[in-house]
């Protein structure tokens, strides 16, 4: 079938993001992600995605204040989170939390869509960390802290202390890099749901469920699983050559849209190097570089945004099982922007399908069938 998986098919229009055009670049509402990651806070980028412009100082202050006021977890949701065992996939936790929150705080009508978007953006770091601490140590962790950033809020709850400047900066950059990526599978799922005029919680729940699939999410976790196997660069090199010989899949390389590079990779790679300095396990950065080199030389595949995120997150003492859920905490900004955009000029998304079944059949009564 031509265009299997809808590859290369324009499935709609968007003013939110441009992926892969003009030398494999990435732009959010016209702004290069490199410039945004070097000069903005994640809140500025989330505001840009939701409200179509970069905020001025007063708009940013008010936006951060609103997000800070929306971090709290309702008691009924805490009760649900406490019933989910630590063995569960954290993506299931976020999916359930989003759906349940939709029961407690329904959207009611589309006039509430920006308020609901901000609520989800604010609460997800609280939900993820509350469940993680309770399920793994039985602690009902406080989500109150002085940080006015989502990056600082997330790390403060996770660490039980304020993050240092570098930790918060790298988390901020990571959230920016993962914030939006056009019509990827989870975003398209959200838009398909939105096109039915369903509520925002249903749309986001569908997006989370789509990201949970290993062909869309989880590459940074798989990358961590890979690089942590090796004691040094030499053993990593031998093993990766063997994996390639056996035609094993190595996650974190290549991309469905980018052809020569993922512009997000060099940004997070640089910060992985910075974070590795002085660490006892700094070898993980150099192991990652060796694998990147081999994949380029042997398969002409480049590292995507997920590969060096693995070592960067690890150097920040973030548990591997939280890697993909952090993506959710970021991508909520892009998902909600797309839901809002879909509603502005909506048409039910209903593609056709090429039939490959049998020709028309004559009906056989039950008592005549062999």
- What do you get for the CA distance between the two ends of the chain, in Å? 35
pLDDT, one tens digit per residue, over 34-51 is 999 999 999 999 999 999
**Final residue in a domain of this structure, among 315, 331, 365:** 315
Q: 224 and 210, same structural domain?
A: no
pLDDT in tens, 196-211: 999 999 999 999 999 9
- Looking at the structure, do residues 179 and 242 belong to the same domain, yes or no? no
Give the 3-state secondary structure of residue 356. Answer: coil
pLDDT level of residue 352 (50, 70, 90 thresholds): confident
Please compute, for residue 154, the number of CA atoms within 13 A of its CA located in the half-sphere on the CB side. 31
Is residue 24 among the annotated active site residues?
A: no
Q: Specify the pLDDT at position 7.
A: 66
CB 117 within 8 A of CB 66: no
Domain total for the chain?
A: 2
* CB 264, CB 177: distance < 8 Å: yes
* Dihedral angle sign, alpha carbons of residues 326, 48, 268, 257: positive
21 vs 145, residue with greater confidence: 145
Contact 73, 127 (CB under 8 A): yes
Q: Is 133 a catalytic residue?
A: no
Q: Mapping DSSP to helix (H, G, I), strand (E, B) and coil, where does residue 253 land?
A: strand
Q: Let me know whether 75 and 148 are in one domain.
A: yes
Let me know if residue 53 belongs to a domain. yes
CB 177 within 8 A of CB 267: yes
Pairing of β 31-32 and β 26-28: antiparallel
For the chain, what is the largest distance between any 2 Cα atoms, rounded to a whole number of angstroms? Answer: 79
How far is the C-alpha of 197 from the C-alpha of 191, rounded, in Å?
10
Same domain for 146 and 21: yes
- The answer to whether 62 and 193 have CB atoms below 8 angstroms apart is no
Nearest to 50 by CA among 28, 24, 76: 28
Backbone phi and psi for residue 349, each to the nearest 5 degrees, phi listed first: -85, 110
List the domain range (segments joined by +) for residue 293: 219-315
- Which alpha helices (DSSP H) does 300-363 contain, by range? 305-315, 323-344
Rounded-to-integer distance, Cα 244 and Cα 239, Å: 9
181 is catalytic: no
In terms of domains, do 66 and 194 share one?
yes
Asked if residue 63 has pLDDT above 60, the reply is yes
Q: Are residues 111 and 157 in the same domain?
A: yes
Kindly name the residue from 153, 262, 306, 338 that is annotated as catalytic.
Answer: 306
Looking at the structure, tell me whether residues 50 and 166 fall in a common domain: yes
CATH of the domain at 201: 1.10.580.10
DSSP string, 71-118: ----HHHHHHHHTS-TTS-HHHHHHHHHHHHHHHS---SGGGHHHHHH
Are 132 and 190 found together in one domain? yes
In 3D space, the residue among 163, 150, 204 whose CA is nearest the CA of residue 330 turns out to be 150
Which is catalytic among the residues 133, 181, 255, 309?
Answer: 255
Summary mean pLDDT of the chain = 95
Instruction: Using pLDDT thresholds of 50, 70 and 90, give the confidence band for residue 21.
Output: low
Q: Are residues 44 and 157 in the same domain?
A: yes
Express each pLDDT in 256-315 by its tens digit.
Answer: 889 899 999 999 999 999 999 999 999 999 999 999 999 999 999 999 999 999 999 999
Reply yes or no on whether the pLDDT at 81 is more than 90. yes
Contact 63, 138 (CB under 8 A): no
State the virtual CA torsion across 50, 56, 60, 62 in degrees, nearest 10.
Answer: -100
pLDDT digits (tens, 9 = 90+) for 163-196: 999 999 999 999 999 999 999 999 999 999 999 9
Q: Are 85 and 132 contacting, i.e. CB atoms less than 8 angstroms apart? A: no
Residue 9 maps to a domain: no
Is 6 within the bounds of a domain?
no
Which residue is associated with the tokens 């081999």?
294
To the nearest 10°, the Cα dihedral for 254, 257, 263, 265? -30
């Amino acid at each position: 079938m031509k265009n299997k998986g809808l590859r290369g098919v324009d499935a709609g229009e968007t003013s939110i993001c441009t992926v892969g055009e003009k030398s494999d670049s990435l732009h959010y509402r016209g702004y290069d992600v490199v410039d945004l990651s070097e000069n903005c806070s994640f809140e500025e980028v989330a505001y840009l995605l939701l409200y179509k412009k970069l905020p001025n100082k007063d708009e940013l202050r008010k936006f951060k204040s609103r997000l800070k006021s929306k971090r709290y977890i309702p008691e009924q949701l805490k009760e649900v989170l406490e019933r989910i065992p630590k063995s569960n996939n954290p993506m299931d936790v976020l999916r359930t939390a989003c759906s349940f929150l939709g029961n407690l705080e329904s959207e009611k009508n589309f006039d509430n869509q920006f308020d609901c978007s901000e609520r989800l953006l604010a609460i997800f770091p609280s939900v993820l960390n509350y469940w993680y601490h309770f399920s793994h140590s039985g602690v009902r962790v406080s989500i109150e802290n002085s940080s006015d950033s989502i990056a600082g809020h997330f790390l403060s709850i996770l660490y039980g202390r304020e993050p240092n400047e570098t930790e918060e900066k790298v988390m901020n950059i990571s959230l920016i890099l993962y914030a939006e990526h056009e019509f990827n599978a989870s975003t398209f799922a959200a838009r398909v749901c939105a096109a039915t005029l369903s509520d925002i919680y249903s749309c986001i729940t569908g997006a989370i469920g789509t990201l949970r699939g290993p062909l869309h999410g989880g590459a940074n976790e798989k990358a961590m699983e890979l690089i942590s196997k090796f004691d040094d660069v030499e053993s990593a090199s031998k093993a990766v050559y063997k994996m390639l010989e056996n035609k094993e899949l190595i996650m974190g390389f290549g991309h469905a849209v980018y052809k020569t590079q993922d512009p997000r990779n060099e940004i997070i790679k640089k910060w992985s190097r910075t974070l590795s300095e002085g660490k006892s396990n700094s070898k993980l950065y150099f192991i990652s570089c060796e694998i990147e080199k081999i994949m380029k030389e042997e398969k002409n595949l480049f590292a995507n945004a997920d590969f060096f995120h693995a070592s960067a997150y690890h150097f920040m003492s973030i548990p591997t099982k939280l890697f993909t859920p952090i993506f959710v905490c970021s991508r909520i900004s892009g998902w909600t922007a797309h839901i809002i955009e879909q509603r502005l000029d909506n048409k039910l998304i209903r593609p056709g399908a090429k039939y490959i079944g049998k020709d028309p059949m004559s009906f056989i009564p039950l008592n005549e069938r062999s």
